[in-house]
A and B are shown apart, each in its own frame.
Chain A
Amino acid sequence: MVTQYGFFFDAAACSGCKACQMACKDRNDLEPGVLWRRVYEVAGGGWEKKGEVWVPSVVAYNVSMACNHCEKPVCGLSCPTKAIWKREDGIVFVDTDACIGCRYCEWACPYTALRFDARTNTVSKCDFCFEAIDAGGAPACVASCPRRALDFGDLAELRKKYGDVRQIFPLPDPSQTEPALVIKPHRDAARAAERAAEVANWEEV
């Protein structure tokens, strides 16, 4: 039995097409402005002089991010009503009938996974498409990726298959929440910080 579901994200393969984002919105009938999965476009660098030659030092890649169903879910630990809870298989849920809409979890989550939904006046977030999972299917984001940059499964298995990288720029320190996430970094990720990279599409995420 799965004790902790997790996502795998291949930053080297992601083209930034946002099919995962759209599939998530479609499956969960999300309002405009509410995004459970988001694709961050990370960009930085410019030109640098090497000897007598100017060469491009651009870094550019995408990060597809949803709730990471953390092993230490700070959102749930900080929720005053216990509206955020973790199932036996590690999936973190929001009980919208218990949520008071204080939005404290929105601040607590460093992955900004919790999103306020004006329809219900509560926060909402990725539920791992649990109905599809329970029926033997895959989350909408994983199923929709044309480049197979996303995968899901038991976290221990994902780590065996893909390694144990959990952080690339600009993700937060994983020790804060122990995210159920495995990443294959893009080659530019290691140089992103030194080249002052930033998220280039804030208005979209």
Chain B
Amino acid sequence: MWKEWPLVAFTIAGQMAVGFFLVAGFPLFLLDGSHAVGTTREEGLAVLAVVLGLLVAAALLSFFHIHHPLRARSSLVNIRTSWLSREIFFELVFIALVAVEIVLVWGVSAASGLSRGVHVAAALAGILFLLSMIRLYMLETLPLWNQAYTPLSFALTALSLGAIAAGFIWGGIFILLSLAFVAAEIVISFLLAPGHGVYRSRPTPSLRPPADVPRYLHPARLASSLAGLSLLGAALIWGRGRAVEGLNGKEWLVAAFALVLAGQLTGRFLFYGLLARPGR
């Protein structure tokens, strides 16, 4: 199970990048509407830089998962049928469009029609990247993963981490959003756990070996996310609506982010650990 750490890191970083990009695009619609990302040019650049950094880190981490990284360029050749090819393709498109948006926001005008067009295209690529990541695990031959838990947990990972990150900058509604997303993630983890096999139930008949996952992982994941949820509540109260203005709120937010992230990492290890690989 622990051997799957590159996949855990890749999926969490990639999903957080998508979530942050999508959630941070809210000001375009909710606030003054003058910038594609953020409410000022500096905020926009900061968000885009973090998203790009996360995506590049995810891409680099994914190399630790494959055993012939020098052949990785050929992983795009089966886009017609392979969701893994599609995932890689859409990640590369997403990276390219975010990089182009950074250039546009930096050098031209964040409010230009071109940068907005690029932003919408990048958001679409990000969504397709996330969808490919979800579909990749939802094969008919993988009943343990081919169920509601997979899309819900992947999407909520993206949205909750993205909303907390946005909460650092804008506070208020974003902390409220992150509260809702983290709460939803806890509820679905709790409710869908039996079907997802965390109690050692696995789809039968099966030629797959039984998983050997530590029993403490599921409660540890829930406890960490619940603690994070409590701190988000504290951040909302102490930050008085705009966390960036209240140091106390921001500190709560950092701790909440760390706990929610720890919960997500634990949950993801559990996700991969439940489907044991045969042989060595």
Chain A residues within 8 Å of B, Cβ to Cβ: 33-35, 40, 65, 74, 77-82, 98-104, 106-112, 115-116, 118, 121-122, 169-172, 176-177, 193, 199, 202, 205
Contacts and interface: CB of A to CB of B under 8 A. Distances in A.
B279 A34 contact: yes
Contacts of B65: 102
Max chain A Cβ within 10 angstroms of own Cβ: one of B68, B76, B275: B68
Contact of B67 (A82, A98, A100, A202): A100
Nearest to A177: B141
16 contacts: A34-B279, A80-B75, A80-B78, A81-B74, A101-B67, A103-B67, A104-B84, A104-B136, A107-B139, A107-B277, A108-B141, A112-B207, A116-B277, A170-B206, A172-B206, A193-B204
Contact of A78 (B74, B139, B277): B139
Contacts of A176: 140-141
Interface residues of B, number: 35
Nearest to B141: A110
B205 A102 contact: no
Nearest to B76: A80
B280 A33 contact: yes
A103 B275 CA distance: 13
Given A121-B67, A122-B68, A74 B141 contact: yes
Interface string B64-98: 01111101101111100111110010000000000
A118 B67 CA distance: 9
B75 A171 contact: no
A80 B207 contact: no
Given A33-B280, A80-B82, 15 more contacts: A34-B279, A79-B78, A81-B75, A82-B77, A100-B66, A102-B84, A103-B67, A104-B136, A107-B275, A108-B141, A121-B68, A170-B207, A171-B205, A172-B205, A177-B141
A106 B71 CA distance: 19
A198 to B, nearest CB: 8
Max chain A Cβ within 10 angstroms of own Cβ: one of B67, B140, B277: B67
Interface string B192-205: 00000000000011
Interface of B: 65-69, 71-72, 74-78, 81-85, 88, 136, 139-142, 204-210, 275, 277-280
Contact of A106 (B85, B140, B278): B278
Given A100-B66, A107-B142, A205 B205 contact: no
Q: Which 7 A-B pairs give the minimum distances between C-beta atoms?
A: A101-B67, A170-B205, A121-B67, A112-B278, A33-B280, A80-B75, A110-B141
A150 B219 CA distance: 47
Contacts of B77: 80-82
B273 to A, nearest CB: 13
A33 B75 contact: no
Contacts of B69: 100
Max chain B Cβ within 10 angstroms of own Cβ: one of A35, A110, A205: A110
Contact of A116 (B75, B205, B280): B280
B68 A100 contact: yes
Contacts of A33: 279-280
B141 A98 contact: no
B74 A98 contact: yes
A82 B208 CA distance: 24
A153 to B, nearest CB: 24
B277 A103 contact: yes
B280 A118 contact: yes
A122 B141 contact: no
A80 B67 contact: no
B75 A102 contact: yes
A111 to B, nearest CB: 6
